[in-house]
Amino acid sequence: MENIVIGIEGTVGSGKTSISRGLLEKIENSIILHGGNIYRAIVYGMIELKDISQGLENLDIFEVMKQLEIEIKIENRETVIYRRGEKIQEEDLQCAKISLAVSQVSNKANNEKLYQFGRKLIDTYREDYNVILSSRDIIKMYPAVTYHFFIDASIEERTNRKYKQYHKKIAKEEIRKMLEERDRLQEKTGYYKIYPQTKRIDVTECKNVKEATEKVFQYIK
């Protein structure tokens, strides 16, 4: 039987990563490809090198990835990112500063070669595994996806989740404004597009990750 690819995307803070990890425990011979973390790692490196607000128009983001010597490896059934041989920690990739910067960069940079790289990477992993793909612009990057889910939740619920994720160190009002700005940038870029094959799932009322995961899993045959 051919391995499948499950695409998970959605609004900022809706629980995409948590749901992907929930599915990992329910789907045999599966791995998570954190596509969003690849982009985050590139931006993380760019921030260390220069002011990312300059020269973004048509910047080839894949060439930047090569210059930064970014590698993708699988550890404990999930992809992790290395830069010049050193692992980039998840908390560094998921911080508020990187999150907002990713939305700004992706809105202007040229992502085509990175998408080509992503397609080849998914096909390579798909030869051996069922792939849970947590990323943006999935249909455009990988049209052959088996299932495509768009996860959503209310702005209030997403604000509360991010507030907990940032260990209550950032005020809720500031987090809400950041989410609204990221939503605006993501929508402008086209990342919130709903396609005919997309199943939109609202997890606002789900009490926990297990419940949200089950809501997605029921559509996977």
Structure confidence by residue, pLDDT tens digits, 154-210: 999 999 999 998 889 999 999 999 999 999 999 998 999 999 999 999 999 999 999
Q: Evaluate if residue 37 carries a pLDDT over 80.
A: yes
pLDDT at 215: 97
Ranges 17-21, 68-72, 110-114, 185-189: which has the least confidence:
185-189
CATH number for the domain that contains residue 137? 3.40.50.300
Domain hosting 148: range is: 5-217
State which H helix or E strand residue 40 sits in: helix 35-49
Q: In Å, how far from its chain's centre is CA 76?
A: 18
- Residue 136 has phi, psi (to 5 degrees) of -115, 155
How confident is residue 104, by pLDDT bands cut at 50, 70 and 90?
confident
Q: Strands 30-34, 70-75: parallel, antiparallel or unpaired by DSSP? A: unpaired
In the structure encoding, which two tokens stand for residue 136, read together?
């943006």
Window from 58-67, 76-85, 147-156 with minimum mean pLDDT = 58-67
- Provide the 8-state DSSP code for 220: -
- pLDDT tens figures, 13-26: 999 999 999 999 99
* Strand bridging mode 78-83 / 70-75: antiparallel
Q: In total, how many domains does the chain have?
A: 1
* Amino acid identity for residue 70 in this structure: I
Burial of 50 (0-12, 13-18, 19+ CB in 10 A): exposed
- pLDDT above 60 for 53: no
Smallest CA-to-CA distance from 21 within 195, 172, 151, 209 is with: 209
Burial class (CB in 10 A: 0-12, 13-18, 19+), 94: middle
The C-alpha atoms of residue 131 and residue 24 are separated, in whole angstroms, by 9
The residue with greater pLDDT, 166 or 133, is 133
Q: Which of 20-34, 66-80, 89-103, 112-126 has the lowest average pLDDT?
A: 89-103
Whether the pLDDT of residue 6 is over 90: the answer is yes
pLDDT at 48 over 80: no
